[in-house]
Structure 1
Amino acid sequence: MNNESEMPRFEEPDGLDPEMLNLDWEEIDPEGLRDTPPPDLSSMSTQALYDFSISNYVHRGRAVFELLDRAPSDDSAARLVSELAKSPLLREDRMHRASMTWAVIARLLAAETPVSRSCAYEVFGSLSPGEQDEVLSWLRASRIEDAHPEN
């Protein structure tokens, strides 16, 4: 996107798309799930967090980040969250251009354990070459092995 005309344009000063501001949340979420409080994730087992991440779209992000918080000291958490990161659930969950998968890669790299870095490399390898280039640019690294983001 070198041409300025190709860049997305936002009319709202906070950068939100006006169509998003006008969504009818009662139609999208009639049960009000988005307003439910999350369970105490810190008391859940690693497997329970993984299962919760697959089944609960409302609090998925919280559960994924709880797994990432455990990754430096729990190899099974690193392995499970890397499996999640390869799924469409996280690949398609985007905040602007970065996906939850990118966040998982960064946090696994930042955990700086052999298992967490190996998992990050595996998730990175599952991306398309174009997306790999975007992730490297986002991480400000020329190779994934050279990326050492702070936690």
Structure 2
Amino acid sequence: MIKILPVTFILTISFLIPNALFAQSSWPLSENDSLYVKTIQEYIVEHEKRPYKYIPKNHVQKTLYIDVEDWTPNLPNFISDYKIIIVTPKNRATHYKKNKNKLLTLSLFPLSIENKTFVIGINEFYSQMKGKSPKYLRIGMWTRTLFTYENGKLRYLKSEFGGVY
């Protein structure tokens, strides 16, 4: 029994550490999930380059609020030093309340195919809570990340950006 205890302990710890670090995601990320992580990383790089006059003054820096859809991928708790907060119908009111009823949220779009290129899009929305549902005041920046299919895998090709800065 003494010899089994260390192995059991090691297996238990090796299971708990990834789950503690990536509580929002299943471990490891699927290839599809990693494409969304890459898209969010590209959004962050562009987001940090630009002066952004429309971010609410109370918006927590280094935090991304992502509206969920039925198909939303599993995402880690942090991407490129940004805390990822998944906004669901159940916790929406709490996050708006913490941010004085104004929030900058990201909407992810499903992976699509355009001219033999795979595309994932992100739109940012500045919204204010009115009653029980958010009222979208403005659409901000958009990001499209393009991938090609090579040797049985999707590979990053480029990112495109636009919208209101």
Fold match (TM-score > 0.5): no
Give 1 or 2 for the bigger CA radius of gyration: 2
TM-score, length of structure 1 as denominator length: 0.26
TM-score, length of structure 2 as denominator length: 0.24
More strand by share: 2
